Amino acid sequence: MKKKSILSIILAGALTFGLVGCGASNSSSSASKEDKTIKIGVSPVPHKEIVEEAKPLLEKEGYKVEIIEFTDYVQPNTALAEGDLDANYYQHIPYLDEQNKSKGLNLTYTAQIHLEPMGLYSKTIKSLDDIKDGDTVAIPNDPSNEARALKLLALHGVIKVSDGELITPNDIIENPKNLKFSELEAASIPRVLDDFNVAVINGNYALPAGFEPSKDAIIIEDKNSEAAKPYGNILAVKKGDEEKEKIKVLTKALTSPEVKQFIETKYNGAVISVF
């Protein structure tokens, strides 16, 4: 009986060890599969289209690409911070900096990919001279793009603003035409343009609304100006993930000659590569 009991214990231990080993193998295999999947959050236009263009390059490297589309500016960073995404691609550096500060996020970026020049649009007004006293202006309500919109108007002499980074309508020090400003979610502005005389619209929202920025904007950011440089859209990741192989491969694909050619051909100046 004693020998039998000892043998049973040894066999049970061997079985347990085998199961643990099998479990570790499965876990390792699962982790390996997950490591070959890239989940990236994007805005619909042009970000999703650009990632779709880069997708074959990533698949050649053995990666499966899951593109998750967002239509607002908040959720992609939340999803990235919480680990639901490996990266996101929709924002510029000042917006990321503001989100890190205001929401306590720990995000960074690996590369600037493209610039979408911000412009002033209207359904009825064709030039700055046509803007009348008391006209209404819609601008984005998130801090970085609001400041960017006001600085664009100031650069063209529509208003004068005080110095500062995240300025608001409260920082307008000269408003010769007594313009009335409404702060709205950036994504909603093209849909309500009929309710305003003019509106400052981000390039990624102007495009799906049917505008061709280089032709339809009353005024538009100069892609070569110092003021426009911080606004190149970036590939954002969690701090510490920059050296992950999948992130390096994704960064390389999005800054490849193939993607550069696609941007130049597809968007005809409405989107400009900055790499």
Q: Is residue 13 part of a domain?
A: no
- Residue ending a domain, among 205, 221, 237, is 221
Q: What is the extent of the structural domain holding 40?
A: 36-117+229-273
Between 69 and 223, the higher pLDDT residue = 69
Which domain CATH number covers 112?
3.40.190.10
With respect to residue 17, please indicate whether it lies within any of the assigned structural domains.
Answer: no
Nearest CA-CA partner of 213 in 98, 68, 115: 115
133 with 267, same domain? Answer: no
Residue 270 has pLDDT above 70, yes or no: yes
* 101 and 127 belong to one structural domain: no
Residues 248 and 156 in one domain: no
124 and 217 in a single domain? The answer is: yes
Q: Assess whether pLDDT exceeds 80 at residue 226.
A: yes
> Per-residue pLDDT for 219 more than 80?
yes
Based on the domain organization, do 109 and 235 belong to the same domain?
yes
Q: Which residue in 184, 178, 221, 177 sits closest to 199, CA to CA?
A: 184
> Which is more confidently placed, 143 or 7?
143
Residues 111 and 49 in one domain: yes
Write out pLDDT tens, residues 179-202.
Answer: 999 999 999 999 999 999 999 999
Specify the pLDDT at position 34. 57
pLDDT in tens, 101-114: 999 999 999 999 99
State what percent of residues in the chain have pLDDT above 90: 84
Tens digits of per-residue pLDDT, 4-43?
Answer: 444 343 334 443 434 334 444 444 444 445 589 999 999 9
Angle between helices 93-103 and 143-155 (to 10 degrees): 140
Question: Which pair of tokens denotes residue 203?
Answer: 């390039």
Q: Which of 221, 239, 264 lies at the terminal end of a domain, its last residue?
A: 221
- Gap between the Cα atoms of 152 and 200, Å rounded: 9
User: Is the residue at 23 inside a domain?
Assistant: no
Domain stop point among 221, 241, 262: 221
Let me know if 78 is exposed, middle or buried by CB neighbors in 10 A (0-12, 13-18, 19+). middle
Q: What is the pLDDT of residue 28?
A: 42
- Indicate if 53 and 84 belong to the same structural domain: yes
> What is d(CA 139, CA 229) in angstroms, rounded to the nearest whole number?
20
Shared domain for 108 and 42, answered yes or no, is yes
∠ Cα 236 36 112 (to 5°) = 20
* pTM for the model: 0.81
pLDDT mean over 85-107: 97
Q: Do both 206 and 176 map to the same domain?
A: yes
- Number of structural domains (the chain) is 2
- 110 and 123, same domain (yes or no): no
The stretch 140-169 carries a mean pLDDT of 97
Q: Are residues 108 and 126 in the same domain?
A: no
Domain membership of residue 11 (yes or no) is no
Neighbours of 120 (CB within 10 A): 22
Residue 174 sits in the same domain as residue 237: no
21 in any annotated domain? no
In a domain, 82, yes or no: yes
- Asked if residue 183 belongs to a domain, the reply is yes
Nearest in space to 254 (alpha carbons), one of 29, 40, 3: 40
Question: pLDDT tier at 223 (50, 70, 90 boundaries)?
Answer: confident
Give the pLDDT score at 268.
85
Give the C-alpha separation, 255 to 25, whole Å.
36
Domain assignment present for 12 = no
**Across 19-23, 51-55, 260-264, least confident range:** 19-23
